[in-house]
Structure 1
Amino acid sequence: MELSLAHPAIKAFLCGCVSGTCSTLLFQPLDLIKTRLQTSQSGPQPGSRRVGMVTVLRSVVRTERLLGLWKGVSPSFARTIPGVGVYFSTYYSLKQHFLQDGSPGALQAVLLGGGARTAAGVLMLPVTVIKTRFECGRYSYGSVSGALRSVCRTEGPGALFSGLMATLLRDVPFSGIYVMFYSQAKASLPKEIRTSGSAPLANFTVGILSGILASLITQPADVVKTRVQVSPQLRTAEAIRNIYVEHRLQGFFRGAVPRALRRTLIAAMAWTVYEQMMAGFGLKS
């Protein structure tokens, strides 16, 4: 089948790219702080001071200046812009193929969100690995392309897919849970709100509430994923054991606040922008 810019799936891809650009630029500092918290080596020893968001923020600004908070934004753009585009175009295509009309039920929403995230997650994983390494501050890559070449040369192409299982265990449930709560909550809004000028604000609020729950449920997998991608010699089971030994159970929730803020705001903004742009194209999202 021939595709053109007029094809609905292409329009969904373009809408996703725009929403990904906006959300990445705004919320990159939260992602960097989350990564630094998760890769901090401080343990739970008696008398040790707990490293928090404010401490990391001050440290980054002091040592790397204010723009240091946007370190890793290039790989974030390289991952998120096409990644969100792939996500929404896959979601739209799956929904049109299996549902045609009407809103998805709870289980259907989980499958649609999870399926779309699987496609985007696997496709963009190499850039996700590079993004995580940029943000952690342990690597001195000069560019995304240079980092990809360096990893392939020194560690082998397989390193670009480190943390695949942890990434899918984090992203697929997050997307499924998020889409389920978002679609069901949005459908329960009164018709006068859904058809009024305040609909985008209402949808954004629903997205925030859905994102908070989805973020907290999937936080442990995010911590494991970050550890494996920063130290690719670790297997997932070894990373889980190391995190528990170093930080006990609370270690699996390190960086929960900045991640919840970022993922929630990004998801809410992405869906709001996507739906508004699709409506502008005359398409039902």
Structure 2
Amino acid sequence: MELSLAHPVVKAFMCGSLSGTCSTLLFQPLDLVKTRLQTLHSNMQPGSARVGMVTVFLSVVRTEKLMGLWKGVSPSFVRTIPGVGIYFSTYYSLKQHFIQEPGPGAVEAVLLGASARAVAGVCMLPVTVIKTRFESGRYNYGSVTGALRTVCQTEGPRALFSGLTPTLLRDAPFSGLYVMFYSQAKNALPQEISMSLYSPLANFCCGILAGVLASLVTQPADVVKTHIQVSPNVYKRTAHAVQYIYVEHGFQGFFRGGVPRSLRRTMIAAMAWTVYEHLMARMGLKS
């Protein structure tokens, strides 16, 4: 089946890609700080003072200059432009086929968001692995394509799918919970606000609330995913990474990097959904 540029699914893909591109460029520094926080303790001696988000931020600026905060933005773009497009076009397609008016309920919203994210996550996982390594500061890749080639030659193609389980355990529940919280919060808005000029701002606030709640629930899976993708030779299985984090750093180790990740994921998701819905409305489509 051929899809023209006028097809609703193609429009959803284009709107999603544009919204994801804008949000990624703005909030990439938070993702880099999150990755550094999650991997930093692997090189620290027992009893060392705990390093916080601001310390890592200033350290990156001091040693790698201001633009060092955008390290990994290239693979982020390579992942985001098609990845968010795949997510929103899958979400739109599933919603049109399986959801009746007036819209998805709580359970349906979870299934919609989780399914769309699982599809996009599997498709873009190789680029996600490269992005995580770029941000960790442990690898000196020159480009995304060069990094993909190097990993395939030295570690095998399978390394590009390292962390698949924790990635899906993080992304699918996050997206499912986000869509549920977001849709329920929007439904609770008074109709006069939903139909006013302030509706994009109201939707953005609903996205902030949904993002914070979903981020807190899925933070442990993000920490495990980062460890596996940065050191795939050390952690052969997801259970090994979980055991290491718990033994070395206790329960709180699963929430390391939670503040920058929560800020970034919340702001990106809120902005992406706000821009996506606005663009879809401008095109005359119901998101």
Aligned ranges for residues 82-93 of structure 1 at < 5 Å?
A: 82-93=82-93
What is the TM-score normalised by the length of structure 2? 0.97
Q: Which amino acid in structure 1 is aligned with residue 196 of structure 2?
A: S
Counterparts of 2:205 and 2:263 in 1: how far apart (Å)? 13
Residue in 1 aligned with 2:274?
272
SS for the counterpart of 1:5 is coil
What is the TM-score normalised by the length of structure 1? 0.98
Q: Which amino acid in structure 1 is aligned with residue 185 of structure 2?
A: A
Deviation string for 1:215-255 (max 9, x for gaps)?
00000000000000001121211111111122111110000
Maintained 8 Å contact 1:216/1:256: yes
Q: Which amino acid in structure 1 is aligned with residue 263 of structure 2?
A: L
Aligned ranges for residues 90-169 of structure 1 at < 5 Å?
A: 90-169=90-169
Deviates more, 1:100-109 or 1:160-169: 100-109
Residue in 2 aligned with 1:16?
16
1:112: how far off?
Answer: 0.3
1:43: how far off?
Answer: 5.6
2:4 is aligned with 1:4? yes
1:2: how far off?
Answer: 2.4
Counterparts of 2:32 and 2:194 in 1: how far apart (Å)? 35
Mark the CA change 1:176 to 1:9 in structure 2 (over 3 Å): closer, same or farther: same
SS for the counterpart of 1:220 is helix
Mark the CA change 1:44 to 1:189 in structure 2 (over 3 Å): closer, same or farther: farther
Counterparts of 2:37 and 2:81 in 1: how far apart (Å)? 25
Q: Which amino acid in structure 1 is aligned with residue 188 of structure 2?
A: S
Counterparts of 1:250 and 1:150 in 2: how far apart (Å)? 34
2:96 is aligned with 1:69? no
Q: Which amino acid in structure 2 is aligned with residue 93 of structure 1?
A: S
Q: Which amino acid in structure 2 is aligned with residue 239 of structure 1?
A: A
SS for the counterpart of 1:232 is coil
SS for the counterpart of 2:286 is coil
Q: Which amino acid in structure 1 is aligned with residue 200 of structure 2?
A: P
Mark the CA change 1:219 to 1:80 in structure 2 (over 3 Å): closer, same or farther: same
1:45: how far off?
Answer: 3.6
Mark the CA change 1:174 to 1:121 in structure 2 (over 3 Å): closer, same or farther: same
Counterparts of 2:29 and 2:126 in 1: how far apart (Å)? 21
Counterparts of 2:247 and 2:259 in 1: how far apart (Å)? 22
Q: Which amino acid in structure 2 is aligned with residue 81 of structure 1?
A: I
Maintained 8 Å contact 1:44/1:246: no
Counterparts of 1:212 and 1:236 in 2: how far apart (Å)? 25
Q: Which amino acid in structure 2 is aligned with residue 236 of structure 1?
A: T
Residue in 2 aligned with 1:54?
54
Identity of aligned residues (%): 75
Give the paired residue count: 284
Q: 2:246 aligns with which of 235, 241, 244?
A: 244
SS for the counterpart of 2:4 is coil
1:102: how far off?
Answer: 2.0
Deviation string for 1:173-218 (max 9, x for gaps)?
0000000010011011111000000000000000000100100000
SS for the counterpart of 2:138 is coil
2:170 is aligned with 1:170? yes
Counterparts of 2:139 and 2:240 in 1: how far apart (Å)? 22
Maintained 8 Å contact 1:39/1:136: yes
Unaligned runs of 5+ in 1: none
Counterparts of 1:137 and 1:84 in 2: how far apart (Å)? 25
Deviates more, 1:35-44 or 1:177-186: 35-44
- CA RMSD in angstroms comes to 1.0
Aligned ranges for residues 28-43 of structure 1 at < 5 Å?
A: 28-40=28-40, 41=42
Residue in 2 aligned with 1:183?
183
Q: 1:253 aligns with which of 252, 255, 258?
A: 255
Unaligned runs of 5+ in 2: none
1:44: how far off?
Answer: 8.3
Moved over 3 A (4+): 42-46
SS for the counterpart of 2:83 is helix
Residue in 1 aligned with 2:265?
263
2:201 is aligned with 1:201? yes
Deviation string for 1:138-191 (max 9, x for gaps)?
000000000000000000000000000000000000000000010011011111
Maintained 8 Å contact 1:44/1:247: no
